[in-house]
Amino acid sequence: MDAIRNLWDKIQSEPSGKHYFEQEIEGIDLIEIDMYLVRAIKTFLSNNGSLEPKRIEEVRICKAALEEIAADVNEESKTYFNLMWEISGLIINEVEDVS
C-alpha cells in the first residue's frame, strides 16, 4: 500500500492537463475517467486498502480505457494519465491479493 500512497503523492504533484480533459478520445471522456479514479484512489487509501466491488470494477474499466487511448493522449497530459494507469494496476493487484 505504501507504493500506492507514494504514487498518489506523485500524481497529485503532476500537472493534470485539465485543459485537455474536456475532449473525448475515441468516445472516452477523460473527465469521467479522472473522476472515477480519483474517487477510487481516495477511498482505497482512506479504507486501508479496501474497495467495494463496484469501485474495483470502475478501476478496471478506467484502466482498460486508459490503455485504449494511451497513444492518443497529448504530450502535456501523457505523464498524468500514465501515472493514473499505473496506480490503477497497483490497486487492482492489491485488492485481488486480499480477496
Sketch the domain layout of the chain as residue ranges.
Answer: 2-98
- Cα 54 to Cα 91: distance, rounded to the nearest angstrom: 14
C-alpha cell at 30: 477523460
pLDDT score for 21: 60
Name the E strands within 12-57.
Answer: 24-25, 28-29
Specify whether the CB–CB gap between 20 and 80 falls below 8 A.
Answer: no
pTM greater than 0.85: yes
* pLDDT for 17 beyond 60: no
pLDDT score for 61: 97
Specify whether the CB–CB gap between 36 and 58 falls below 8 A.
Answer: yes
Per-residue CA distances from 52 to 41, 58, 72 (Å): 12, 10, 31
Share of the chain above pLDDT 90, in %: 64
